[in-house]
Structure 1
Amino acid sequence: MKRMTANEVEQKLKNGEQLNIIDVREVAEIATGKIPTAVNIPLGLVESKMPDLDKKQKYIIVCRSGGRSAQATLFLESYGFDVTNMDGGMIAWEGGVE
């Protein structure tokens, strides 16, 4: 499983990179703030939303602490997606939120 720190993700965004970020937290958790440009797909819906994802794209998976995103990363990886888990999740995120 590929991994990236929250600081690495923040730096890529600051450098203007276009990132595909999927936040697998529940809708109520997203209300506290999410990384700008992140798309919310709660963990329980990841499988049903797979047809909406493009295997040619790279995705960074995020949750609160890194556990659920690791599960989603391993799951999507097993289906051939290019995914990276953001270690530490939103707890480690120091950047802006929307």
Structure 2
Amino acid sequence: MPTVEVADLKDGDFLLDVREDDEWQAGHAEGALHVPISEFVARYGEVTEAAPQDGRVHVICRSGGRSAQVTMYLVQQGVDAVNVDGGMEMWAHAGRPVVTDQGQPGYVL
């Protein structure tokens, strides 16, 4: 499965967060698109609309399991998608900002 390290992500890379609402509300990467895995198939169109036409979809969850499932689905649909290894836990550990919807500091749930 295609995978990328948090350290390899650049500002402006398209990030898809597939964690559930309570996890998202606790804290997320600024600018990420939130589509919970439990709603993913029904909201698939939102992802393809928002994703850059010539870019990659970086899929993230808490630790990498759920995002791996979504990554595989996207790849099967012909989307250039990669799983973010270690998820939001690694994101926070690497010192990347975690924010709430209000722009305040957040945390990984």
TM range (shorter): 0.7 to 0.9
Q: TM-score, structure 1 length as denominator?
A: 0.85
After the TM superposition, which residues 1-98 of structure 1 pair with which residues of structure 2 at under 5 Å, given as runs? 1-9=1-9, 12-13=10-11, 18-52=12-46, 53-54=48-49, 56=53, 57-93=55-91, 94=94, 95-98=96-99
Is the helix fraction higher in 1 or 2? Answer: 1
Which residue of 1 is the match for residue 102 of structure 2? none
Gap runs ≥5 in structure 1: none
* Structure 1 segments of 4+ aligned residues over 3 angstroms from their partners: none
How many correspondences in the alignment? 92
Mapped to 2, the partners of 1:27 and 1:35 lie a distance apart of 14
Gap runs ≥5 in structure 2: 100-109
- For residue 92 of structure 1, report the CA deviation from its aligned partner: 0.6
Q: TM-score, structure 2 length as denominator?
A: 0.77
Alignment RMSD (CA, Å): 1.4
| Same amino acid, percent of matched pairs | 33
Mapped to 1, the partners of 2:6 and 2:32 lie a distance apart of 13
